[in-house]
A and B are shown apart, each in its own frame.
Chain A
Amino acid sequence: MLKNSVFLVCIKKRKATIVTHCCFQSEIVMTRNHLQGKVAEMENFAGHLEEIFLTVEENFGRREQHLEQHYNDVLQTLSQRYDERAAGLEEEKKSKLEALYRQLLACGQALDASKELIETAQEIYRSRDKRLFLKVCPDLKLSTHLELNTPLADLSDVKTMMDSINVVPAPSAPVINPQMPNSATQTSLRVCWSLFSDDTVEYYELYYRPVLEDMPADSTLPSPPVIKQRECTSCPEAALIRWESGNTNPVDSYNVELSEMGTDGTESGVTESIVAVPTCQCLIQLQTGQRYLISVRAVNIGGPSDRSDVIIVSTTGTFFHLLEETAHPCLSISEDGFTMFYGDEELSISAMAFDDNTFTRCVAVLGDLIPVRGRHYWEVEVDDGTEFRIGVAYMDTERSSYLGANNTSWCMRHILTPTRHKYEFLHNGWSPDLRITVNPVRIGVALDYERGTLSFFNVDLEQHLHTFHCHFQSYVHPCFGLDNPGALTVHNSIEAPEYTFT
């Protein structure tokens, strides 16, 4: 273009001056030649470009083909491998399932076998000839050792006793009361005994023999049982006493002896005994508002053991201990067993030992309330700043759920909100909407099985807070939970104030 414009300028100039025509012509020729040269050069360049383009295109095509092939190869390999793996896993799964099923079958069979065994054992046990049971027992394939090294002489005794059982069951051994002062003269002796009320007795046979000095100790006498203080519970109408046999000698039954304690703290002699208790616990009906001294003796054919240690039971109010085995791992319980703490420090997972009986989510614990369908009252001391749940629950209440969130627990809940203290009375996750203007720091809980009520009171104000109405189908137990770090103290053995059961 530049050349062209020069050319045009030249033309214009030619118009202007014809004189200089000749010298211009030679210049034009030169320029034309020059231009022709340039055009040839450009054509050459274009040719080169075309060649390069073709080469590049060809190369791309080849590359594409190559990549595609490679990609297909990879895909094929992958799918092949996937199929192989899947097949492997399927087989493994199948074999594992089969193994599990076999185990399940074996387990079921074992269960059936055990059941049969138990039934057979029960049947044999129920049959009149008790010796059959003893004979068959060693055949039971149980892991526990069941062989009894009964001396032959004892067996003959048993046989005579067995033969004497006809229609009426033999009465239990009467219990001879301690000798009363002034009940004997030089020639006579008054002997008193108590009998087990379920027995039918035609007559008593009284045996006696003179006591020889230095009589050898009878080695077959059982040793005294040990009362489990922490597992004894009571209410105004009754007490539940639990003990350990503490015996290696055979024990036939236990006798529970109780005596009322006078106001001056003195014992008034054995006033009542419950004999032939077959198990290591006994529910005793008592009078309200008294104090009793209770002890246990183990009895076998050789006679009764010495008295166990004495436990004092007061029937002014309901008394129970906490079931520490139900406590959430974060809940610690004081030595006296009545104050529980939820500490600030976080427990590591490994330190949280849960078993089937512990609360796993709600930091809570159950109390061991006596199984008596009467009236029970206890108090709980709380702190204004503690978020708590207090109430009752069935023994089988879900351990992974919060108290009050299910239909097996009833509780009063205190929640701290940024603006106020909130109180809920929760059952099955629902609470009535109510406001309480004075925060209770000592809460009275009154349970009445007969009326089917569970009431809460502010003890300091004698103020009624709420009553649940529910006919508790089975026995309930006190429950206590903490929703934030803090403490709760249970107060037991308190006489229910008059306003609680009106």
Chain B
Amino acid sequence: MALTQVSSNKCAGGFQKVFEHDSTELKCKMKFAVYLPPKAETGKCPVMYWLSGLTCTEQNFITKAGSQLAAAEHGIIIVAPDTSPRGCDIEGENESWDFGTGAGFYVDATEDPWKTNYRMYSYVTEELPKLINANFPTDPDRTSISGHSMGGHGALICALKNPGKYKAVSAFAPICNPVQCPWGQKAFSGYLGSDRSTWEAYDATVLAASYSGPQLDILIDQGRDDQFLSASQLLPDNLIAVCSEKKIPVVFRLQPGYDHSYFFIYSFMNDHIKHHAKFLNA
């Protein structure tokens, strides 16, 4: 589990670094970004995992989201992995932007030819945390997760499928009900096959309906002028309806004028880090 440092830049008093390693889950070289706040030089810090959206690499979040100042202030390590395995030479891997490379959807694929490499769920919930905890000054008991769009879906399912593992969860414009939207249907039928019942294990709305575990407190921001909201790719109303019924605490904020971009994420990043800090530093 050797890490190779790809880059390191001083940032907000700490360091923004990128590492590369050989992933056993994904059977390829993977890059991830890690922000180490000043506090990490002297003590253990909690970790927030950030899952990015379709087409992203580990770069988008660290260059556009403006998370480092708030992370430094609250003493939080932020880990941002890539969004899929890369360079596996699978046929059709690079054919479309919403399936294959850059579109791992944070599931463990069961269908050929994807099932060998496309195991992003196990990667972000098992392999990566082990790697991080072994190499950085973390407090493994204080972990949280957040993400954007496909990564928002990833963050929600990771929290809902692993009660107690993540102390806090939040999302920007998440895909809330993938089994009901075109993106989700395309990805799940490709990675998981035609049996729709297997899809439900990776659907936040379905998982919320049967969630039992420690109290969650979910913060979701959504741009009102998000083209994918009006295209029915995100379906937050379905998740809110289930959470209202199941009394899972959610604050869902519809932000007028904002779209699906990182400009929107940047605008509310501080609120989300503060939300995570409340639980990570409690």
Whether chain B is bound by chain A comes out as yes
Chain A contacts to B: CB under 8 angstroms: 420, 432-438, 458, 461-466, 498-499, 502
CA distance A462 to B274 in the complex (A): 14
B247-282 to A contact mask, C-beta < 8 Å, 1/0: 111111111100000000000000000110110011
* Residue pair A435, B250 in contact (C-beta under 8 Å): yes
CA distance A98 to B58 in the complex (A): 83
* Residue pair B217, A461 in contact (C-beta under 8 Å): yes
Interface centre among A420, A434, A437, A463 (most CB of B within 10 A): A437
* Residue pair A420, B244 in contact (C-beta under 8 Å): yes
* Residue pair A502, B253 in contact (C-beta under 8 Å): no
Candidates B217, B247, B248, B252; contact of A434 at CB < 8 Å: B252
* CB-nearest residue of chain A to B218: A437
B interface SS class: mixed
* CB-nearest residue of chain A to B278: A499
B123-145 to A contact mask, C-beta < 8 Å, 1/0: 00000000000000000000000
Contacts of A499 in B (CB 8 A): 278, 282
Whole-angstrom distance between the Cβ of A325 and the nearest chain B Cβ: 37
B215 interface hit (Cβ, 8 Å): yes
Chain B contacts to A: CB under 8 angstroms: 215, 217, 219, 224, 240, 243-244, 247-256, 274-275, 277-278, 281-282
Whole-angstrom distance between the Cβ of B205 and the nearest chain A Cβ: 12
Candidates A435, A458, A462, A463; contact of B240 at CB < 8 Å: A435
* Residue pair B249, A438 in contact (C-beta under 8 Å): yes
Contacts of A463 in B (CB 8 A): 217, 249, 251
Candidates A420, A434, A498, A502; contact of B251 at CB < 8 Å: A434
* Residue pair A461, B249 in contact (C-beta under 8 Å): yes
Contacts of A466 in B (CB 8 A): 251
Given contacts A437-B240, A438-B247, A462-B217, contact A432 B253 (CB under 8 A): yes
* Residue pair A437, B250 in contact (C-beta under 8 Å): yes
* CB-nearest residue of chain A to B271: A467
* Residue pair A502, B278 in contact (C-beta under 8 Å): yes
* Residue pair B282, A435 in contact (C-beta under 8 Å): no
Candidates A437, A458, A461, A462; contact of B243 at CB < 8 Å: A437
* Residue pair A437, B249 in contact (C-beta under 8 Å): yes
Given contacts A463-B217, A464-B275, A502-B277, contact A438 B253 (CB under 8 A): no
Whole-angstrom distance between the Cβ of B174 and the nearest chain A Cβ: 14
Given contacts A420-B244, A438-B248, contact A433 B254 (CB under 8 A): yes
CA distance A436 to B218 in the complex (A): 10
* Residue pair B278, A464 in contact (C-beta under 8 Å): yes
Whole-angstrom distance between the Cβ of A421 and the nearest chain B Cβ: 9
Contacts of B252 in A (CB 8 A): 434-437
Contacts of A434 in B (CB 8 A): 251-254
Whole-angstrom distance between the Cβ of B21 and the nearest chain A Cβ: 35
Contacts of A420 in B (CB 8 A): 244
Contacts of B215 in A (CB 8 A): 461
Whole-angstrom distance between the Cβ of B222 and the nearest chain A Cβ: 9
The 10 nearest A-B residue pairs measured at CB: A433-B254, A437-B243, A435-B252, A437-B250, A437-B244, A434-B253, A438-B249, A461-B249, A463-B249, A438-B247
CB-defined A-B contacts under 8 Å, sample of 26: A420-B244, A432-B254, A432-B255, A433-B254, A433-B255, A434-B251, A434-B252, A435-B254, A436-B250, A436-B252, A437-B240, A437-B243, A437-B244, A437-B252, A438-B247, A438-B249, A438-B250, A461-B249, A462-B217, A463-B251, A464-B251, A464-B275, A466-B251, A498-B282, A499-B278, A499-B282
